Chains A and B, each alone.
Chain A
């Protein structure tokens, strides 16, 4: 089968750094994506890692280690508006056009 494990909740202080981990189990790995979803809103694409290493996009960075079947999303200089759910996702085993989403991590940023 296919599975993606994430912590269900994370709380961090405004201005701090937080790391959201994702471990995956899938056959035929084609990359790890991250999505942000605010309450009542739609998921928004944040990043994609196909190869090992760190990808940086502004305050957000994403890391992948294929040998460890592990990745993380790093959020720096946290802002209140970063409070949201964050999902990691991999292409579905049935077809590379589809995404299989992780369980999601709810990030709460506190003052």
Chain B
């Protein structure tokens, strides 16, 4: 089945220790997104790629970076995680428009 895959599902990192989250898709969608979602809150967009064009949300901290080496893969790098970065990180894809997005299962990040 075509899908969006995120690894790992759970990630524990230490305060200030860089961490990378990965996402892959078999849907062949042009657009890929990274969201941060904290408990009982709405998903908050961090970045999106339309093909290789990178788009950074204005309020995304510099501590967050992203890479999309090819159509199928996208990475979220957190350079120096703080306690406030503990959250669920969701990857999503869309064929071209934003209304219907397909989400991966998410990576729950814990910062100790």
Give bound CA distance, A48 to B43, whole Å.
Answer: 18
**B98 is contacted by which of A42, A91, A102, A106 (Cβ under 8 Å)?**
A91
Given contacts A30-B99, A41-B105, A42-B103, contact A101 B94 (CB under 8 A): no
Cβ contact within 8 Å between B98 and A98: yes
**Per-residue B-contact encoding for A28-64, CB less than 8 Å = 1, 0 else:** 0011010000000111110010000000000000000
Closest to B31 in A: A97
**A43 is contacted by which of B40, B43, B57, B96 (Cβ under 8 Å)?**
B43
**For chain A residues 78-111, which have a beta carbon within 8 Å of chain B?**
87, 89, 91-92, 94-104, 106
**A99 is contacted by which of B45, B102, B106 (Cβ under 8 Å)?**
B45
- Summarize A's interface: helix, strand, loop or mixed: strand
Closest to A42 in B: B103
Give bound CA distance, A62 to B103, whole Å.
Answer: 21
Interface centre among B45, B50, B90, B102 (most CB of A within 10 A): B45
User: In the complex, what residues of A have CB within 8 A of residue B102's CB?
Assistant: 45
Give bound CA distance, A44 to B58, whole Å.
Answer: 26
- Summarize B's interface: helix, strand, loop or mixed: loop
Closest to A101 in B: B42
**For chain B residues 57-112, which have a beta carbon within 8 Å of chain A?**
57-58, 90, 92, 94, 96-106
Give bound CA distance, A60 to B74, whole Å.
Answer: 33
B interface residue count range (under 10 / 10 to 19 / 20 to 34 / 35 or more): 20 to 34
Give bound CA distance, A43 to B88, whole Å.
Answer: 12
Give bound CA distance, A62 to B81, whole Å.
Answer: 40
Q: Distance (Å) between the CB of B100 and the closest chain A CB?
A: 5
Cβ contact within 8 Å between B98 and A96: yes
Give bound CA distance, A73 to B105, whole Å.
Answer: 24
Q: Distance (Å) between the CB of A10 and the closest chain B CB?
A: 15
Cβ contact within 8 Å between B43 and A101: yes
The residues of A with any CB-CB pair to B shorter than 8 Å are: 30-31, 33, 41-45, 48, 87, 89, 91-92, 94-104, 106
> Which 5 A-B residue pairs are closest in the complex by CB-CB distance?
A101-B42, A42-B103, A97-B98, A48-B99, A33-B99
